[in-house]
Amino acid sequence: MSDSIAFIGGGNMARSLIGGLIARGHDPATIHVAEPVQVVREALATDFGVAVFEDGARAIADAGTWVFATKPQVLRAVCESLAVQAQAKQPLVVSIAAGITAAQLERWLGGDVAVVRTMPNTPALLGAGVTGLFASDRVDAAGRSFAESLLSAAGKTVWIDDESQMDTVTAVSGSGPAYVFLLAEAMVDAGIAEGLPAEAARTLALQTVLGAARMLTESDVDAAELRRRVTSPNGTTQAAIEAFEAGGLRALVADAIHAARVRGAELSAANE
């Protein structure tokens, strides 16, 4: 397999992966990017020194790995336009498009293609993301290793053996940053409603979210135990936690993640 990598789409997620590859010593000359928007192409070439192309057919020439980083709604057309080359070259295909199954990608590319389906999330843009990965049966050990190395440039990686669970990955982590943003938004608004100046409320809420996330990820203690440790009996935290529990927060979160998972499955079916 050639060492060259072709990115089909040069948006923010592609930029984060390209930056990670180069930071790890990958030769920019072996990274090709197909991107229809001229200003985006020029920025990629200037910032990273990669080869840029307006169309996918030129970008994939001699590339052993194709990374599809387009919007899901255009992916079928893009794949079908490259199917002849896919059959001839038999690349490793890595997709970061939400809701598109490995079987769909394989079919659109003409069949018998090794596909790794991934679901990163937006903190990947800061190298602080997490990505779920699923490999089709045609992906060998080297392909799995390369895909994991590629996505680990954006943060942690988790392999999923049952592709049907990728919709749950999307619901928990792919959409998950928005849940945290909503909580932070609500905390800021509540702080203002209780009399804090807006900037003070924002700083207090956002740094609290950041600090709590670091405690969760940097300690060996699970979330339930950390919560217990900061909840003094009959104290202010207990009063707040009791209000959350009485309001059905756990059930609401479960309902929200279920709704996101179901919607992911619906979007996948719509692309058949």
Domain map (residue ranges) of the chain: 5-169, 176-267
Q: What is the mean pLDDT of the chain?
A: 94
Q: Indicate the fold that domain 5-169 takes in CATH.
A: Rossmann fold (3.40.50)
* Between 23 and 102, the higher pLDDT residue: 102
CA–chain centroid gap for 6, Å, is: 18
Q: Indicate the fold that domain 176-267 takes in CATH.
A: ProC C-terminal domain-like fold (1.10.3730)
Average pLDDT over residues 230-257: 97
User: Which pLDDT band, with edges at 50, 70 and 90, does 2 fall under?
Assistant: low
CA-nearest of 108, 107, 113 to 88 is: 113
Tell me the CA distances in angstroms from 212 to 54, 216, 269, one per residue in order: 44, 6, 37
Average pLDDT over residues 249-262: 96
Neighbour-count burial of 198, counting CB atoms closer than 10 A to its CB (0-12 exposed, 13-18 middle, 19+ buried) = exposed
